Structure 1
Amino acid sequence: MKPLVNTVMFTHRKYKIAKGYILLNSVHDRVNWSKEVWGRLNTPKHSFMLWLAIQDRLKTKARLHSFNILPEAKCQFCKVADETITHLFFDCPYSSDCLQQVKNWVCWSITASQLPGIVRVIGRMKATRFRKMVLSVIMAALVYHLWRVRNESIWLSSLDNPTSIVQKTKAASKIRIQSVWPKKVSAKDLEWYTVL
């Protein structure tokens, strides 16, 4: 049997890796939330969950109901409205209470109450890079813990109170930030962080 002959023709031009990368990599529009979602200080699984939430890709009850997987779409927390991403983060009174406690904790008086708006505010706020990264870590942890408690409520029939979720968010955020502490943090930012 004859060996297969490669029919690709080679050119005599010099190959450059950068041009090959551009050829293989499709052009994507830059999103305004990438630094906040994929921040260096963020816990990777929290970032992934935040990324899914911002893109409306979490398997909420409303989403599963639309595919005829679930018979009803009521929110697992409040049992009143349909469980959509918008409702879950942070229209629901349960998650809204968690968000308000987090805002009080970091002395943050923003008016945004929807997840995309909050992430956009973090990116646009006039604050140091360190403070923005810390707020991103906290929001990613809050989204992760809300989703986790929501799932535990479904599968284990147990529901933590909002204060418990905020405590988990605080602990996870502080552990992560201290484990990947940046090399340069101003004295003012260090003082701000230590009172959290």
Structure 2
Amino acid sequence: MFYTPTLAASWAVKYICKVKQLCTEKLLSTAWLTGTYYSIKGTYQSLEAQQYKTPWARYVWKRFTLPRHRFTTWLALLDRLRTKNRLFKYGIGDNNLCAICGGAPETSAPLFFDCSYSKECLNIALDWLEFRMRRISALHVFQWFRTYCKNSFKQKIGYATIAGTLYQVWKARNSVVWDHFVPTAASLMESLKFDVKHRILEIHSKKISADNRSWLISL
């Protein structure tokens, strides 16, 4: 069915043949190859439709959330951050323990927010927003805001704050690894509060209701 390139074929030819086979396997059809009309857009949309929809994407890609916070949160929820546990599997590093507390293997799950340090950061963030909850995973915290926070403005700020907290914890972790310095949770959260408030006032200032503006300024 598919052309098999010779050993002497260039890497480009080999790669094109490989992609053709992968696309056909993914689409479960050769119609995209044999049809009289080919559309790049149509093929892309067909391939995209096969992808698994991540239910947590709604929490990450929000305008209130700073881009760098979104990116780190996206990697954390995918469990794709270069944690010590992940690197240790490839023979990198002396151990796989959490760089901050050393109490468990460093993976996204305990780092956000089971680790005592990250839990302290989360509690400071929640106290700042005047919310109370008992959750130990980042995803559960996001889900709590979606379920129980009915004010959409406060909900979006909640998403932005939790994403920012993940970013600050990861930043602190990197500080420990590279600079051998552990910043205090309080100092991290002060930086986060400044970022969140000024981000929202910058992009959404004229559209905030009086009540929501008063609440935001009081934080």
TM-score with structure 1 setting the length: 0.85
2:196 maps to 1:173 = yes
2:144 maps to 1:121 = yes
Mapped to 2, the partners of 1:128 and 1:168 lie a distance apart of: 25
Mapped to 2, the partners of 1:91 and 1:24 lie a distance apart of: 37
Aligned-pair distance for 1:35? 1.9
Mapped to 2, the partners of 1:133 and 1:60 lie a distance apart of: 28
Mapped to 1, the partners of 2:41 and 2:91 lie a distance apart of: 46
2:98 maps to 1:43 = no
Aligned with 2:170: secondary structure? helix
Amino acid at match of 2:137: Q
User: Aligned residues, how many?
Assistant: 187
Equivalent in the alignment of 1:71: 94
Is the 2:197–2:216 Cα contact (8 Å) retained in structure 1?
Answer: no
Mapped to 2, the partners of 1:22 and 1:101 lie a distance apart of: 43
TM-score with structure 2 setting the length: 0.76
Structure 1 range deviating more: 84-93 or 17-26: 17-26
Aligned-pair distance for 1:113? 2.1
Q: 1:101 to 1:17 in 2, by over 3 A?
A: same
Equivalent in the alignment of 1:28: 51
Q: 1:192 to 1:77 in 2, by over 3 A?
A: same
Equivalent in the alignment of 2:187: 164
Amino acid at match of 1:191: S
Equivalent in the alignment of 2:164: 141
Aligned-pair distance for 1:22? 3.3
Amino acid at match of 1:153: V
Mapped to 1, the partners of 2:75 and 2:110 lie a distance apart of: 15
Aligned mate of 1:92, from 108, 112, 115: 115
Query: What fraction of aligned residue pairs are identical, expressed as a percent?
Result: 29
Deviation track 1:121-143 (CA, whole Å, cap 9, x = no partner) reads 12223422211111111111111
Is the 1:35–1:123 Cα contact (8 Å) retained in structure 2?
Answer: no
Amino acid at match of 1:56: D
Mapped to 2, the partners of 1:23 and 1:146 lie a distance apart of: 38
Aligned mate of 2:83, from 60, 63, 84: 60
Which structure's residues are more often helix, by fraction?
2
Is the 1:32–1:120 Cα contact (8 Å) retained in structure 2?
Answer: no
RMSD value, Cα: 2.4
| Structure 2: tracts of 5 or more residues without a match | 1-32
Aligned-pair distance for 1:94? 0.9
| Structure 1: tracts of 5 or more residues without a match | 1-6
Structure 1 range deviating more: 157-166 or 65-74: 65-74
Tell me: higher relative CO, structure 1 or 2? Use CA pairs within 8 A at least 6 residues apart. 1
Mapped to 2, the partners of 1:9 and 1:30 lie a distance apart of: 29
Q: 1:74 to 1:18 in 2, by over 3 A?
A: closer
Mapped to 2, the partners of 1:105 and 1:129 lie a distance apart of: 18
